[in-house]
Amino acid sequence: MALFEYDGRTASGDAIRGRMESASAIGVATELSAKGIIPLRITVSKTREIQALVDLRRWWHRQQISLVDTIMFCRQMATLTRSGVPITRALRGLSETLRNPELQRVLGEVADDLEKGFELANALQRHPAIFSNLFIAVVHIGETSGRLEESFEQLHGYLSLEHETRKRIQSALRYPTLVLASIFIAIAVINVFVIPPFAKLFASFGADLPLATRVLITTSKLSSDHWHVGLASIAIATWLVRRASSSPAGRLWWHRVQLRIPLIGSILERALLARFCRTLAITLGSGLPITRCLSIASRAVDNDHVGARILKMREEIEAGDTLPAAAYSSRLFTPLVLQMLSVGEETGAVENTLGEVAGYYEREVDYDLKQLGDAIEPIMIVFVGALVLCLALGVYLPMWEMASAAKG
């Protein structure tokens, strides 16, 4: 998106001037014509500072569109479409009543696109940062089948479950995160304010210091004298990691590593499988072919490693295999889940079976998340205890040795 400046005249002949964001000058002309304005001059804005501010503002507001905002939008759209309110009027009404300014702007643009002749799914597809492939696919099916309110209800239920899962994961990780942050702050305070006075005291005696004390003094000196080098190193390392993870190969490697993290990896894998099964159940229930459903689900899991396995399942189904056979070859599912899929295919209730499998994984994730805090707590206690022991030995051991030497 770029910022354009334009001059034009209204239908009554009044001159008008302003700025507008669009992908091209043709887009600006089309939007001005739709508003009854005759464009006379359209140029790219020369003010780079204004463009930078516009981009920054758009990025900031885009970050503020949360999953809760999307859930509320789905629920309200389901209610309005069920009541018979035209889609354009419903979007206009929501854009005026929602609290999120960026979502207001997006819904206003979607309503403008509908008035220009776009279908709802195509209009939503122009905002991929907000509406996922699954969202657009379900809306498209509801729009073509005349059951748009059911599509929004399905999306509301799916996104609500997703939100609850995220909340449980955040709640389980809150305690270890706070402990680690507290440890980091404590180490920084000790290195900067506590160790230097002791280092001067020990240096005045000229005695040989234990290894733990020498390590503490060296660490403190490095932290005090070369802190800027440490910050620069952290910043460069963070940039390199982000750049590497943005490449397809780096992102695939990182997603594979995530699933191998002790305690967390297995929980994350089951959460991804629950999302996959829930997505596949919704898309199959919407009437999409299974190969298209698997393609959408591979992107919905938001993990390239698991997504590649799902795409492999799609290839095997295209080659003639059944869904249970492809699921077995992927090595993603347990024998119990594979049996459930086989029974679902035999009875013709694959959609319902996938919903039950998703619920099965979600219950397992919920239980493991509740146990995660109990599993991490003793590890945190041992880690904090070892840190305190090292600090105590490093500070007090030479004092005890000097005191013993003075008495002897």
| Measured distance CA(79)–CA(97) in Å, rounded | 15
Residues 210 and 95 occupy one common structural domain: no
Residues 187 and 279 occupy one common structural domain: yes
Residues 102 and 27 occupy one common structural domain: no
Domain count, the chain: 3
Confidence of residue 49 (pLDDT cuts 50, 70, 90): very low
The chain-wide mean pLDDT, for the chain, equals: 79
Q: What is the DSSP string of 197-217?
A: HHHHHHHHHTPPPPHHHHHHH
Whether residue 244 is contained in a domain is answered as yes
Per-residue pLDDT at 330 exceeds 60: yes
The CATH number of the domain holding residue 289 is 1.20.81.30
Which ranges in 320-349 belong to alpha helices (H)? Answer: 323-330, 335-347
Whether residue 166 is contained in a domain is answered as no
Residues 127 and 154 occupy one common structural domain: yes
Residues 100 and 233 occupy one common structural domain: no
| Measured distance CA(274)–CA(279) in Å, rounded | 8
Instruction: Look at 34 and 233; give whichever has higher pLDDT.
Output: 233
Residues 50 and 84 occupy one common structural domain: no
The per-residue pLDDT for 52 is: 53
Tokens of 106: 């997006």
Residues 305 and 230 occupy one common structural domain: yes
Which of 39-48, 79-88, 219-228, 389-398 has the least mean pLDDT? 39-48
Whether residue 95 is contained in a domain is answered as yes
pLDDT, tens digit, for every residue of 345-400? Answer: 888 888 888 888 888 888 888 888 777 767 777 877 888 888 778 777 777 777 77
What Rg value do the Cα atoms of the chain yield, rounded? Answer: 29
Residues 144 and 36 occupy one common structural domain: no
Q: Which domain holds residue 103?
A: 66-160
Residues 250 and 118 occupy one common structural domain: no
Residues 97 and 147 occupy one common structural domain: yes
Instruction: Look at 386 and 401; give whichever has higher pLDDT.
Output: 386
Whether residue 165 is contained in a domain is answered as no
User: Checking phi first, is residue 84 left (phi over 0); if not, alpha (psi -120 to 50) or beta?
Assistant: left
Residues 230 and 352 occupy one common structural domain: yes
Per-residue pLDDT at 63 exceeds 60: no
The per-residue pLDDT for 405 is: 58
Which of the listed residues 133, 160, 187 is the one where a domain comes to its end?
A: 160
Which of the listed residues 60, 84, 99 is the one where a domain comes to its end?
A: 60
Which of the listed residues 130, 160, 190 is the one where a domain comes to its end?
A: 160
Give how far Cα 107 sits from Cα of 61, 265, 375, 390, Å.
14, 38, 45, 58
Q: How far apart are the first and last CA of the chain?
A: 80
pLDDT, tens digit, for every residue of 256-299? Answer: 888 888 878 888 888 888 888 888 888 887 777 888 888 888 88
Residues 186 and 270 occupy one common structural domain: yes
pLDDT, tens digit, for every residue of 161-210? Answer: 888 877 877 777 787 788 788 878 877 777 777 777 777 777 776 666 77
